[in-house]
Amino acid sequence: MGNLDVLKKRFNPRRFYRDETTGTEIEVDGAFVRIDPSLESQRGKEVIEIPLEDLLQDPAVIRSARVSTGRDTKDINEKAGRLIEKLYSGHHETPFEGGVTLRLKVITPICYAEPFFQLPLSHNERSLRYSAYNFETEHFFIPPVYRAKQWIVPVYEEGERESQKLYQFFLSQGVSREQARFALLFRFFTEFYWTVSLRHLLEILSWEPNVLTPAAFWSIRDNLIAQIIKDWTPWTADVVFEKPRLTPTNFGLSHSSEIIEAMLETLKKQAQKEDVVSIGSIWFLPVCGNDEILKLGVLTNPNPRRGFGHASMTFLLNIPIFVYRQWVRHRYGAWSALPTNFDEVVHHRDFYLPLSWRRQLGGAMDYNYEEVEPELSSKLRLMFFNFVEGCCRRYRRLRQFGVPPQDAALNLPYVFRVKRLWTANVESLMNFFSLRCDKQAQWEIRQFAHAIYPRFRKSFPWVNEIFLRYLNFGKSSIFR
């Protein structure tokens, strides 16, 4: 049997993968397919046939590599398998990046989704701003390890009932979906498309586990992502699993909360703090670069805007989790998710409690919001306050039963605050203002964009002129 026939037999275009311990499902929704010239003659047919050879993914790595030697051939001969090994061991990794891209549909509890949004390449997530959580078909996640513990399950279930009741009451009163979701527990299911290359998956596979990342992430990686690689790219898997690579991710730092607090205090001394209404706070750290660097920077091609990358601003943020999850989508920059001490969150009641509640009017991509009547607003505020108090009580009960903070926290509402470090270059900031000062952005994240913009304008007056004249594509009155 030739090399290609062996590969055809091992290739397994499986769609569904499930990890029970984390309640996570990944579907392989799409993959690159080689377009054979014969496809043209199939134009207009109901079913277009794609030869198996063109669906195989490993040969795409080989073709991507061969082009560099001028041999753009799709021949899969005896040498082909060995080429993959040479590429990998020689760290020539771009063929794995350009050759194979998968679109994965991930369904996972919200508490485990966060690390995925720090990974390349592209994400599109279901937004609970445009559709409601459907309790008839969707539930909350309970980690399997607690399902047999009769004294713990009722606490999880009670939280679930309270959350569902309040969420549905909010919706019945016409409260916007973006605010109703504050009543969801930090274990509702989210789903998103994640488009990622094989090269990036291999890098993720090589990372040394670290305690900063939830254990669930490593479980999803080792049980699902590894299997997807074995099924979809068996030749690459042979190489990768035979000689696993370990990329260090632990740098000898202590992660104790006292030490992190002390480091934060030092940082805050160099920063200017601004509270953003009752939502959260920003510490502005020293700005890097100025207009003069950027005037030189933009003398580049083909996209002079990239030159705005030579200056940046850094922020220490204390923001509600739902704001962070919108904000983190601005990938062009650096994010650090500082560990959350949930005992402290509960002790200090570090939750965002909205002062007013909004109705959502109009249709998708063109929503308008108006405040609900003052009487209803007071009632909703009190109900939400009581709900948060109930969540804190349940958190404490679980802690007394010995449940670790990260699992007890699954019972907190989707409004606890987190600390994040964000560095964004000037190009990315202009994109952020265009999108997040706009009235289509959720009110809460908009307040942060509004707080940052005046300092940006002051630090980069020339860039600000360029931004307003040529680059701003939002519709905010803040810029007028």
Instruction: Please identify every residue annotated as catalytic.
Output: 436
As a whole number of Å, the CA-based R_g of the chain is 25
Give the C-alpha separation, 175 to 104, whole Å. 33
The helix (run of H) or strand (run of E) holding residue 124 is: strand 122-125
Q: How far is the CB of 335 from ligand FAD (least distance, A)?
A: 11
Angle at CA 365, nearest 5°, toward 363 and 366?
55
Q: How far is the CB of 433 from ligand FAD (least distance, A)?
A: 11
Sites of contact with ligand FAD (CB under 6 A)? 120-121, 124-125, 127, 329-332, 428, 431, 435, 440-441
Between 139 and 331, name the residue whose CB sits nearer to ligand FAD: 331
Between 233 and 326, name the residue whose CB sits nearer to ligand FAD: 326
Between 411 and 476, name the residue whose CB sits nearer to ligand FAD: 476
Between 238 and 438, name the residue whose CB sits nearer to ligand FAD: 438
Nearest to 413 by CA among 384, 433, 442: 384
Between 124 and 257, name the residue whose CB sits nearer to ligand FAD: 124
Among all residues, whose Cβ is closest to ligand FAD? 127
Give the C-alpha separation, 183 to 162, whole Å. 9
Beta strands per DSSP E along 183-241: 189-197
| C-beta separation of 350 from 344 below 8 A | yes
Q: Name the residue type at position 249.
A: T
Q: Which residue reads 């202590």 in tokens? A: 254
Between 235 and 432, name the residue whose CB sits nearer to ligand FAD: 432
Between 329 and 349, name the residue whose CB sits nearer to ligand FAD: 329
Q: What is the DSSP letter of 423?
A: E
Nearest to 254 by CA among 210, 215, 218: 210
Integer CA distances (angstroms), 100 to 55, 97, 109, 229, 426, in order: 11, 6, 27, 11, 32
Q: Which two tokens stand for residue 273?
A: 């703090």
Between 121 and 382, name the residue whose CB sits nearer to ligand FAD: 121
* Beta strands across the sheet bearing 272-276: 272-276, 280-284, 312-320, 417-425, 333-337
Q: How far is the CB of 276 from ligand FAD (least distance, A)?
A: 18
Q: How far is the CB of 130 from ligand FAD (least distance, A)?
A: 6
Q: How far is the CB of 365 from ligand FAD (least distance, A)?
A: 8
Nearest to 118 by CA among 179, 43, 204, 237: 204
| C-beta separation of 479 from 438 below 8 A | no
Q: What is the DSSP letter of 338?
A: P
Q: Positive or negative CA dihedral for 48, 52, 56, 59?
A: negative
Q: How far is the CB of 204 from ligand FAD (least distance, A)?
A: 14
Q: How far is the CB of 438 from ligand FAD (least distance, A)?
A: 7
Give the C-alpha separation, 131 to 127, whole Å. 7
Q: Name the residue type at position 114.
A: E
| Cis? peptide before 121, omega within 30° of 0 | yes
Residue ranges of the alpha helices (H) in 317-412? Answer: 321-327, 342-347, 374-400, 405-408
Q: How far is the CB of 355 from ligand FAD (least distance, A)?
A: 22
